[in-house]
Amino acid sequence: MVKITPEEITVTDFAVREHRSLWGDAWKRLLSSNTARLGMFIVVLFVSSATFSHYFWKYEPKKDLDYSLKLKAPIFIPTEEIPSVHPFGTDKLGRDIFRRVVHGGWNSLRVGIVAVGISLFFGGTIGLLSGFYETVTMTTTERLVLFGTAGFLMGSLSAWIADQYFQLILYAGLGLAAGYYQDLFKGKFLRMVTFGILGALFSAVPGLFISPTVAVICGLWGLLSGVLLSRPLDGKFFSNVMMRLMDIVLSFPGYLLAIAIVAFLGPGLGKGMIAIGVVGIPIYARLTRSVVLAIIHKEYILAAQSVGESHGRIIFRHITPNILSPIIVQTTMGLASAILSAAALGFLGLGAIPPEPEWGAMLGESYRYLTSGAWWAVMFPGLAIMLSVLGFNLLGDGLRDALDPKLRT
Amino acid sequence: MIRYIFQRILSVLPTLIGVTFVIFMFQRLIPGDPAIAMLGEHATDESIERIREQLGLNRPLFLDREALVDGDLQGFFDSQYMRYMARLSRLDLGDSIHRRIPVMETLKLRFPATVELSLLSMIIAVIIGIPVGIVSASRRNTAIDSISMVGSLIGVSMPIFWLGIMEIMLFAVILQWLPAGARLSTGIEIESITNLVLIDSLITGNMEGFVDAISHIAMPAVALATIPMGIIARMTRSSMLDVLQEDYIRTAKAKGLGGRLVLFRHALKNAALPVVTIIGLQAGTLLAGAVLTETIFSWPGIGRWIYDAILGRDYPIVQGGTLLIAIVFLGVNFLVDILYALLDPRIRYK
Amino acid sequence: MTKKLFYILIALLLFSALILGACAKEPEGEKIPLTLYYMPVSRFYYPSPKEIAEAMAADMANAGFDVQLELAGDWPTYLGLRREGNLDGLYMLGWGGDNGDPDNFLNYFFGFSGEDKVGDDPAAWVKSPEKREGWYANTDVAYLLYTASITPDQAAREAMYKQVENILHDDVVRIWVDHNNTPLVFSSAVSGYVPQPVGADYFEGVVVEGSDTFVFGRGGDSVQLDPAIVTDGESFRVTGQVLEPLYQYEPGSTKPIPALAESCTPNEAGTEWVCVLRQGVKFHDGTDFNADAVIFNYERQRFTDHALHFESQVYEYYGAMFGGFDDASIITVVEKVDDYTVKFVLSEPLAPFLANIAMDIFAISSPAAMEAAGEDYGLPSNGAVGTGPFKFVEWIEGDHITIEANADYWGGAPAVDQIVFRVIADDSARFLALQAGDIQGFEQAVVEDLATAEAAEDLYVLTRPALNTGYLAFSYKIVEFQDVRVREALAHAINRQGLVDNFLGAYGEVATNFLPPLIWGHDDTIVDWEYDPELSKQLLADAGFPDGLSEVTIDPAYVTEE
């Protein structure tokens, strides 16, 4: 049994409980947790030191070089030999590691935030739409958009083969028609035949102007597209396709995919952000979809539907606010893992462009001096990575406890 | 049950095809010409052209629309992707570009090294992670709980390349207890049966080899185990807590059953489901982490090999290696799904 | 509903505009950032290229050059971009001598290429900048180098090479940075290792106390074991033990001495060389070494239609050393005089002929083995078959190569039974492996580790004499770099002494010539560019950039159509 301490009783005593919002409640709970406070402290420390140093403690990495300070151990009191203070020591080029670690934080945090932003935006949108339309019937407009896009996409193959890009319009039109006349003919079979023939005609006839074989192939493709479009595609179909795509991305181990993407784009902070962001999309898509599915049958959603609110309004006004808490938790934790991945890329030499300070790159550059005893050059950048990641993880953990009403005691 | 397995296989297939597609694509998207990579910097344009032809690189990626316009139907489908798929269906992963060794052969040599490392890491992670989680759950909100949970969170937050370097510093540079890299010392020979040196040395009774292998694998395995260990400990704890709040546990306790009995007999069994899932998902983490661990410890596995191949534009290696990793990942999760269904019959009927 | 569709359309349009904008190519003649390309791998002349680039960039920044560092891809990609003249800016590179002749340094970079040699009168040849490294073309230099290569008199040649060095220096064609005496670290149980200034090191004299196996650690794997088609030192390190050329370099020097040939003597004009071969030598596969084997090996490299001269293989050195293939080859005939005598007939005198044939590239492989292996000769599945002191045993890609002693070696069986070449990519990991006793020697260490090794009782350091030069090159495609004052400003901006002290320690020295001091033709009288940021700023201001240089222009005249 869970022990209830006297303080907790006062908190949950409804008679004396003042009125607070959900978020206020969560905030209170967050502050009451030791680990969350620790996490918050670390995060605030890193964010503020990075921000302040970026704006108020000028550092020009491009000009930083002092051979006389090569690989000095941490020094706190200036001596005659070394007239400056280096709490974390210096690296091979005589650069102050403390300074580089602090400024490196700016880069690492930026990568984390932008990468998570990319994953969250695309993943969240995909998840939200998949989850929503998986259960809610589409309106005619939405169905038309879906069918139109499907037609357009299918048409791109035929249009490319025949090198006639107006076919795209024909296919999109076919899709729209199929979406609009979904109830045409009672029998499925007849509809299938109709759209199949239409599709075949749409692409075979223009294809004839190129060559007979092109016409045959395009015709076959058109037939196939028409048949597929004649089927009652709906949100479930969309959701299925999306989730399969996410499965594919997920089946590659994260780093390898990110490495491949960076190898394609070339190294650099911005490219690292994109790579890490793309790799993270499926996590957010799956999570969002599952939380949407969990609340979609709640009364307030049904109520909103029954009074005829538009789908966009339901998604933005009713669903989004109510799925925020798990997303916030995941985002916080996602920041942690994005920082970790960015550091890994930097370590492999695929991160920030030198001499820009970046934790992983600093580690990768200095670990060859380990055998000569320069432990500080790898110790401190690594600690910075570990602590900042830990901070976000602790905070995320605390947020989960604070935001998840199930765990309320 | 068989029907369920069949359904699962059917749903994995499109993913697999998608995976081959993506693998094929990102190889071709990486800049740099494999023909130039193969011939070196001083190759003439003609010989580059000829090699491109030999490798089929002059074929279009997916479909050849020009061939079709000329009425050549076979040429239309004779593309790099189709050739790649045709080879795949014969289990032929091609030869590496630089040294022309069949990728399959090198995989057979190197994959066991990665498997051995990952398996040992997983064993370490499970052996430590699960008990820590159970203890934390049963002593909820005590100091032990807080310490082990912060500890496991540190594990989750660990940059494994950094941990590996720190291990080397401590055990190889300062204490000089353990070797800093490789799989075996030079001169140690272990007859290969399974290609997992730990097991082979035990089977053949080669104790010297076993000790040598253990001393080499210890550091990378611990480094690789930290993240899964943390995740497993946390998952075990939370799923135990969920179960402990269920009615049947309360009932069991109300019946007067002892705390330990309830914990192991009733709670653990039911808490196992999510833990099993998370262990399956960690297979991916381990294989991905192998790139970094293998780099630091000069471990002759496939992670580092693939990484080098990406930078060296050795497409067949990247394709073969990544495909294998993806298949292993999908396979492990497929098995987890099946296991899940066995443990929880409700899933089969959903 | 129409409104929504409208918004969606607008969004799609914006999106595609964005993508199109991102894909649009910059027009030619456009400003690009001043870029310094750094090497993706470490080489003995640049042991830690990324950090060295950072240091150079910092020096330049302090003199007013705002340089952007860039990694252009892996090593083959980098070399390919250099060859095509597409490293638009500054770039790091270096050269390690192959045969100790100045020709091997200078002519390779600054001489006429095959396409330049139009017509029969060399004085009328014009060196074209097209696709030459750095787009630098100087016909006078190329002509001097050509003349030197056909002059038999060494003193006259030396004068010409010194003249070339002076032109290159006054013109600031490249910034010569360093020469490095490459360190090799050994366990004190090992003795008898001889580092060679050029060519593969000698392993046959190695003795390991208490062991019959010598394990050597190295940074990378061999590319191939067919020496005719490779250019990297890690391949030659192994082939040099398994195969032998007609001549080889004297241990510890660059002087050619007889190996498979007992002697090679030229005629008066220097156009014919008669080589008397060693008798009774057998290849590892049991076949005889004789004149036919020599002719087979040379013809196979020369004739592009030879049955074993494959399309996929590049015989880079043959072309560079002997003027080209087929009819362009300076060696016009390799004639069999009798079973153990061959005659090389040359189209023109070739001063460095002996130094050339002593290169590992021209080592003699067993024709029978080559025919049996076909295109796969030299690959891990076959290895190499020659006459050398060691035989190929196995090659586990990326891990190790094993060779074993050849008991029947004509020079006497080597002291160790087996040599294992192990790949350990990281410099400090190799040092750890040596300390742990996993390997008994390795090449190229972090300079800080060398101090440890020198102090340790159970380790010692040997050096390979510095026959290499690390340099910083300009692309003459950049308009700003066409002004000698800008190039000179850069030369004065970089603290090369600091760089050498920091990264090479006592093993390195600052380069003043392209030719290292150990090679004749090096000119001691050249006054080096001094490290002087103020002078550098002044020169830059004189050139019209008082506020420094951060963006440069690509000369449209140098842009070739793709």
Q: Which of residues 279-318 of A touch B (CB under 8 A)?
A: none
User: For residue C71, which of A271, B296, B290 has the smallest C-alpha distance?
Assistant: A271
Which of the given ranges, A179-188, A210-219, A356-365, B252-261, has the highest pLDDT on average?
A356-365
Flag whether residue B60 sits within 8 Å of chain A, measured between CB atoms: no
- The set of chains that have 3 or more CB pairs under 8 A with A is B, C
Interface membership of A265 toward B (CB under 8 Å): no
CB contact under 8 A, B109 and C396: yes
B133, B235 Cβ separation under 8 angstroms: yes
Q: In Å, how far from its chain's centre is CA A123?
A: 6
A256 closest CB neighbour out of B14, B253, B288 = B288
Residues with Cβ < 8 Å from A180, sequence gap 6 or more?
A140, A144
- Contact state of C79 with B187 under an 8 Å Cβ cutoff: no
Which amino acid is present at C321? M
The answer for B 133-152 residues in CB contact with A (under 8 A) is: 140-141, 146, 149-150
Separation in Å, CA of C95 to nearest CA in chain B: 15
Instruction: Give the residue, A132 or B41, on which the prediction is more confident.
Output: A132
What is the pLDDT averaged over residues A227-237? 80
Tokens at B336, concatenated: 């987890």
C319 contact partners, CB below 8 Å, separation of at least 6: B42, C114, C325
- CB distance C424–B298 less than 8 Å? yes
Which residue of C50, C59, C446 is in closest CB contact with A372? C446
What's the count of helices (H) and strands (E) in chain B, helices before strands?
A: 16, 0
The closest CB to that of B157, out of A249, A363, A389, belongs to A389
Instruction: Tell me the C-alpha distance between C104 and C148, whole Å.
Output: 12
- Mark yes or no for CB contact B180/C311 under 8 Å: no
Q: What is the domain extent for residue B232?
A: 103-348
Angle at A212 between CA A206 and CA A218, to 5 degrees: 55
- The per-residue pLDDT for range A101-118, each reduced to its tens digit, is 999 999 989 999 999 999
In this predicted structure, the answer to whether residue B163 has a pLDDT above a threshold of 50 is yes
Q: How many domains does chain B have?
A: 1
Residue B36: its pLDDT value, please? 67
Which residues contact residue C561 at a Cβ distance below 8 angstroms, ignoring those fewer than 6 apart? none
Q: What is the DSSP string of A211-274?
A: -HHHHHHHHHHHHHHHHHHHS---HHHHHHHHHHHHHHHHTS-HHHHHHHHHHHH-SSHHHHHH
| Assigned domain for B342 exists | yes
Q: What per-residue confidence (pLDDT) applies to C216?
A: 95
Cα distance from A127 to chain B (closest Cα, Å)?
18
B32 touches chain C (CB under 8 A): yes
Count CA atoms within 13 Å of residue C275 on its CB side: 27
CB contact under 8 Å between C1 and A141, yes or no, is yes
Q: Confirm whether B65 is domain-assigned.
A: no
The answer, yes or no, to whether ipTM is higher than 0.90 is: no
**B55 within some domain:** no
Q: Give whichever of A163-172, B280-289, C57-66 has the largest mean pLDDT.
A: C57-66
pLDDT at C332: 92
CB atoms within 10 A of CB A217: 24
Chain A residues near residue C428 by CB distance under 8 angstroms: 367-372
**Which residue of chain B has the CA closest to A333?**
B157
Closest CA to C255 of C162, C147, C352: C352
Q: How far apart are the C-alpha atoms of A162 and A344, rounded to whole Å?
A: 45
The pLDDT value given to residue C340: 95
Quick one: which of C365, C261, C361 has its CA closest to C308?
A: C365
Residues of C in contact with B100 (CB under 8 A): 376, 379
| A79 burial via Cβ count (<10 Å: 0-12, 13-18, 19+) | exposed
* CATH number of the structural domain spanning residue B332: 1.10.3720.10
- For residue C87, give how far its alpha carbon lies from the nearest alpha carbon of chain B (Å): 14
Query: Does any domain span residue B135?
Result: yes
* Chain C residues touching A365 at Cβ < 8 A: 50-51
Task: Report how far residue A171's alpha carbon sits from residue A199's, in angstroms, rounded to the nearest whole number.
Answer: 7
Is residue B130 a part of any domain in this protein?
yes
Phi then psi for residue B86, to 5 deg, are: -65, -40
pLDDT at res. C167 = 94
B156 touches chain A (CB under 8 A): yes
Q: How far apart are CA C228 and CA C336, in angstroms?
A: 21
Task: Over range B298-316, report the average pLDDT.
Answer: 82
Residue B228 domain-assigned (yes or no): yes
Q: For residue B246, what is the nearest residue in chain A, using CA coordinates?
A: A1
Q: How far apart are CA A330 and CA B314, in angstroms?
A: 37
**Are the CB atoms for C500 and C509 separated by under 8 Å?**
yes
What DSSP line would sit under B50-86, residue for residue? HHHHHHTTTS-SS--HHHHHTT-HHHHH--HHHHHHH
- Contacts of residue B43 in chain C, CB cutoff 8 Å? 314
Q: Do A260 and B318 touch (CB under 8 A)?
A: yes
- Mean per-residue pLDDT over chain A, rounded: 84
Q: How does strand C261-266 pair with strand C331-338?
A: unpaired
Minimum distance, in Å, between the CA of residue B286 and any CA atom of chain A:
9
C8, C68, C428 member nearest A368 (Cβ):
C428
CB contact under 8 A, A260 and B310: yes
Which residues of chain A make contact with C8, given a CB cutoff of 8 A?
145
Mutation target among A92, A125, A271 for the C interface, most CBs of C within 10 A:
A92
The residue with tokens 């770039």 is C91
Contact A248 B285 (CB under 8 A): no
Instruction: Provide φ and ψ at A375, rounded to 5°.
Output: -65, -30
pTM: 0.86
Instruction: Locate the DSSP E strands across B196-336.
Output: none
CA distances from C276 to C256, C298, C338, C367 (A): 15, 16, 9, 19
Query: Looking at beta carbons, which residues of chain A come within 8 Å of B18?
Result: 244-245, 247-248
Domain presence at residue B67: no
The string of pLDDT tens digits covering residues B87-144 is: 888 888 888 877 778 888 888 888 999 999 999 999 999 999 999 998 998 888 888 8
CA distances in angstroms from B292 to A225, B114, B160, C73, listed in the order given: 45, 12, 7, 20
Q: Which of C39, C51, C185, C426 to mutate to test the interface with A (most CBs of A within 10 A)?
A: C51
Q: Which residues of A touch chain C, with CB atoms under 8 Å apart?
A: 60, 62-65, 67, 70-71, 92-93, 141, 145, 266-267, 349, 353-355, 365, 367-374
Q: Residue B10 falls within a domain, yes or no? A: no
Highest mean pLDDT among A24-33, A92-101, C71-80: A92-101
Count of CB atoms situated within 10 Å of the CB of C285: 12
Q: Do A93 and C55 touch (CB under 8 A)?
A: yes
Tell me if A245 and B322 make a contact (CB, 8 A cut-off): no
Q: What Cα–Cα distance (Å) separates residue C440 from each residue in A224, C184, C191? A: 68, 11, 10
Cα(C534)–Cα(C540) distance, integer angstroms: 10
| C413-to-B109, C206, C252 alpha-carbon distances in Å | 33, 12, 20
Are B180 and C381 a contacting pair at CB < 8 A?
no
Answer whether B176 touches C (CB < 8 Å): yes
Residue-wise pLDDT tens for chain C (562 aa)?
Answer: 455 555 666 666 666 555 555 554 444 567 889 999 998 888 889 988 999 999 999 999 999 999 999 887 777 778 777 877 888 899 999 988 888 889 888 988 888 877 787 888 888 888 877 656 778 888 999 999 999 988 888 899 999 999 999 999 999 999 999 999 999 999 999 999 989 888 888 898 899 998 899 999 998 888 889 999 887 888 899 999 999 999 999 988 888 999 999 999 999 888 999 999 999 999 999 999 999 999 999 999 999 889 998 877 778 788 888 888 888 889 999 999 999 999 999 998 888 899 899 999 999 999 999 999 988 899 888 899 999 999 999 998 888 999 999 999 998 999 999 999 998 888 888 998 898 888 999 998 888 899 889 999 999 999 988 899 999 999 988 999 999 999 999 999 999 999 999 999 999 999 999 999 989 899 999 999 999 999 999 999 999 999 989 999 888 877 654 3
- B178-198: per-residue pLDDT in tens? 888 888 887 777 877 888 888
Chosen for mutation from B97, B99, B173 (greatest number of chain C CBs closer than 10 Å) is B99
Smallest CA–CA distance, residue C429 to chain B, in Å, is 7
> Is B197 in CB contact (< 8 Å) with chain A?
no
Measured between beta carbons, the chain B residues lying within 8 angstroms of A254 are 284-285, 288
Which of B41, B176, B185 is the closest to C438 by Cβ? Answer: B185
* Interatomic CA distance for residues B240 and B273, integer angstroms: 10
Interface check A184 vs B, CB under 8 A? no
